[in-house]
Chain A
Amino acid sequence: MKSMPIKNRLLSQLRLTLRFWLERLHSGVVLVGILFFWMLSGVSFAATPYEIKPVNIAPDTWVVMGKNEPFTPENGGMIANIGIILTEQETLVFDTGPSRAFAEALSVWIKEQGGGPIRYVLNSHAHPDHFLGNQVFPQNRTYSAEPTQRMIVEQGPDLAENLYRMVGAAMKGTRSVAPGVVLKEGVSKIVLGSGSSEHQLEVRLLDGHSHGDLILLDRTTGVLFAGDLVFYNRALTTPHAVLNDWLAALDQLEGLSHSLLVPGHGPVHQKGEGIKQTRDYLKWLDKSFKQGAEEGWSMAEMLNWPLNPAFKSVVMQRYEFTRSLSHWYPQYEENALKQ
C-alpha cells in the first residue's frame, strides 16, 4: 500500500492557516474558549497510577478486567482484558495493555504474586489497547501473527501517538515495540510451568477482527483467551475487521473445547454466550448496513439507525455503531449503487 505523508503536511498547513485567522480575528475569545474546554475536560497533568487488580478465574490464571469505556485520561486506556498465567517457574501474559506504566504495574504485580520470569508475551492483535505495554517485556519472548507484527512496525508509532492524544499523561514514556517472534500458521503447543502447575497450552492464529488474531487455549484449565474475536456485553469494534473471516473464526472458536472464555472486552463467561452474541451482533450490523444501503439512506442518516433490542445487555452500542458505520458503510453503499 502506497501512502504519502500528505495528511501531515496538509494538517500543518491547515493549522497555520487556521491559526492566522483565529489570531487575527478572535484571539481573546479563542484563548478563553480553549481554557474553558480544558477545564471542562478535567484533564489532569499528573500521571495516572494504574490500579491493577487481576481477578483469579482458574488455577494460576488471572485477568485484569478492562473498563467498558472509550479511551479516556481517567481510565488510562485500560479498556481491554489482559490475561496472565502465572506459575512459580515461569509466567505468560496475554496482551500487554495500553502503556508502559500499565505493563510496569503488571510486572510488579506478577513479582508480588511470586510468579516466575516472564517466558511468553503474546500479542493477540495490533490494536493499541492490547500491545503498547510491549516495551516492558523482552522482545525476543514476544509472539504474534505475522500481520500483527507488520502492522505494529508500520503503524505502531501512529497508534501510540493517537493514544497519547486521547489518554494523555498515563501514556508517558510509552513507545511502540513490535513482537520479536512471529508464529507459524496452525497450532503452536507450549508447556508452561511444571509439576502440579503445568499448563498444556495451544496458540492458534485466526483472523477477522484484525488481519492476524492470536488466541490461546489452556487445555489444562479449559480457559480460552479469545482476544478481540469475542466481545461480550460490550459492542464490538471493526476498524480492521473483515466480516466473513470473523464469522469463520467464530465457528472455529466454537469448535474448541473450553469451559471458560476470556473475551477481549467484557466479562469472562461460560462457553458459548460471547461467541453467539458476537456472531449475532456482526450479522445484525451486516443486515442493517445492507438494508440501509438498499433503501438509499445516506451515511449521516444511518447514524440514527435503531439499535437492536435483542442486545440490550450490550453497552457502548451507539458509539461503536457510529464507528462501524465509518469503517463499513461506504462499501455497502457502493455495492448498492453498482446494482
Chain B
Amino acid sequence: MSICFTAKARNLLLMACLSFFAVCKPSFAAAQPAVDEANPLMDVMWDYMREQFIRDEPWQYSARVQIILPEFAEDSTQVPVMVRHQIADARRLILFADLNPIQHIATYEVDAGSLPDIGLQFRVQQATPVHALVQDASGLWHVGRNYVDASGGGCTAPKKEAASDDWASNLGQIEGRLFTRNSHRLKVQVSHPMDTGLVEGVPAFWLNEITLTDQSATALGRLNLSAPVSANPRLTFSFAKESAPESLEGYQLHLRDNDGNDFTSPVYQLNGKEVM
C-alpha cells in the first residue's frame, strides 16, 4: 500500500479537527473532570446515552464519583471496574459503557442504608468511555467518567470465551466472604455463564436481579446486572461502616436470572460466622 500521509498533512488535519471540536464543544457550565479532555470518543454517545438512562433529569459532572478502570483491557472479557463515591444521601447508581452494543452494565437502587462502592468485571467490545451516574435524594445526578482502551498486552491471543459446557452442574453456586477491616465489604463469586444473547444460537442467559438484604431478609438494595457483566461474576459491595443500619447483623444475597432461576447465599455474619 503506497498511501503515506506526511507529518505535515497529518498536522493540518489535526488542526482542522481541533477547531471542529472547539466549535462543537457543549457549553454547559458544570465543571468537567480533567481526565481525557482531549479524547474525542469520550462524548460521542454521551447526550444520547444520558437521554436513555436519565432523560431530562438534572445532572452534573462530579469528582466525587470515581470509576476505577485499567488504562487498557488486558482481557476484554474481564475488565475490572469499581465505582466509588462520596455523595451524601446517594439513592441510585447507573453504570454503563458507551460504545458497547449493550451499554448498560449495572444499576443499584438503595432500599435502606447507603449506596455501596461497587466492583465487578465486564466485557468490552472496543475502546470505550465508561460513565457512572449517582443520584442523590434531591434527584440530582452526579456523573463520573473514565475510559478504557481495548487493546491488550499482546502475548495473549485475542480471547475466545470458552463455551460454558459445565455451567449446569454448578449454576448459581456462590462463594462469598465478608471483610470487615475498614468497611463492610461483601465479596462474592457466582457461577453463571452470563450469555449476552448476541451470539447466534446462544440465547441470552444472565443473572439480572440481585437483592442484598440483612440477616432477616429486609432489603438493603437491589442490583440489576446486564449481560455485559463477565461470566461467573465476582461482585464487591463496600459499605461505610458508620452508615450501616443499627439492626444489621449480616448480609445475604438473593439472586435471580432471566430464566427464573433463584439462588440464595448464606448470611455473611458481621461476627465472621456464616449461617445457612
Separation in Å of the B251 CB from the closest CB of chain A? Answer: 13
Which residues of the partner chain B approach A327 to less than 8 Å between Cβ atoms? 74
A310 at the interface (CB under 8 A from B): no
List 8 A-B residue pairs with CB atoms under 8 Å apart, sorted by A's residue number. Answer: A6-B160, A10-B199, A30-B44, A32-B20, A159-B155, A326-B78, A330-B78, A337-B177
- Residues on A lying within 8 angstroms of B by beta carbon are 1-11, 13-15, 17-18, 21-22, 25-26, 29-30, 32-33, 35-37, 39-40, 42, 44-46, 70-71, 127-129, 155, 158-159, 161-163, 165-166, 237, 239-240, 295-296, 298-304, 319-320, 322-323, 325-327, 330, 333-334, 336-339
B125 proximal to A (CB < 8 A): yes
* CB-based contact B17/A7 at 8 Å: no
Q: Which segment, of B104-112, B180-188, B214-222, faces chain A? A: B180-188
With A326-B78, A333-B189 already in contact, the answer to whether A33 and B163 are too (CB < 8 A) is: no
Taking A10-B198, A18-B125, A300-B119 as given, write out 6 further A-B residue pairs in contact, using a Cβ cutoff of 8 Å, ordered by the A residue number: A3-B162, A37-B41, A39-B11, A42-B10, A300-B68, A330-B234
**Contacting pair B162 A1 (CB below 8 A):** yes
What 0/1 readout, one digit per residue, does chain B (197-236) give for beta carbons within 8 Å of chain A? 0111010000000000000000000000000000000101
Q: Report chain B residues within 8 Å CB of A71.
A: 154
| Alpha-carbon distance between A38 and B96 when the two chains are bound, in angstroms | 26
Q: Which residues of B contact A (CB under 8 A)?
A: 1, 3-5, 10-11, 13-14, 17, 20-21, 24, 40-41, 44-45, 48, 68-72, 74-75, 77-78, 80-82, 99-101, 119-121, 125-126, 151-163, 165, 175-177, 179, 181, 185, 187-189, 196, 198-200, 202, 234, 236
With A6-B161, A25-B48 as contacts: A296 and B1 at CB distance below 8 Å? no
Q: Output the least CB separation between B275 and chain A (Å).
A: 17
How far apart sit A70 and B236, CA to CA, in the bound complex (Å)?
31
Chain B residues, CB < 8 A from A302: 80
Q: Report the minimum CB–CB distance from B66 to chain A (whole Å).
A: 10
A166 touches B189 (CB 8 A): no
A45 contacts which of B1, B81, B176, B177 (Cβ < 8 Å)? B1
Q: Closest B residue to A299 by CB, please name it.
A: B80
Contacts of B45 in A (CB 8 A): 21, 25-26
Q: Considering only CB atoms, which chain B residue lies closest to A26 in the complex? A: B44
Q: Is the CB of A295 within 8 A of B181?
A: yes
What distance in Å separates the Cβ of B5 from its nearest Cβ neighbour in chain A? 7
Q: Is the CB of A296 within 8 A of B236?
A: yes
| Beta-carbon contact of A46 and B4 below 8 Å | yes
- Which 8 A/B pairs are nearest by Cβ-Cβ distance? A298-B119, A296-B179, A158-B157, A299-B80, A300-B82, A326-B74, A33-B40, A300-B80
Nearest Cβ on chain B to A37's Cβ, whole angstroms: 7
A6 to B181, CA, bound (A): 41
Q: Quick one: given A6-B199, A14-B101, A39-B10, are A70 and B163 in contact (CB under 8 Å)?
A: no
Q: Tell me whether A14 and B198 are in contact (CB under 8 A).
A: yes
Known: A18-B99, A299-B234, A337-B176. A155 touches B198 (CB 8 A): no
Interfacial chain A residues near B78, Cβ < 8 Å: 326, 330
The interface residues of chain B lying within 8 Å CB-to-CB of A295 are 179, 181
- CA distance in complex: A201, B181 (Å): 56
Complex alpha-carbon distance, A70 and B24, angstroms: 35
A240: chain B residues within 8 A (beta carbon): 155-156
Could you tell me the distance in whole angstroms from the C-beta of A61 to the nearest C-beta in chain B?
26
What distance in Å separates the Cβ of A102 from its nearest Cβ neighbour in chain B? 15
Which residue on chain B has the smallest CB distance to residue A37? Answer: B40
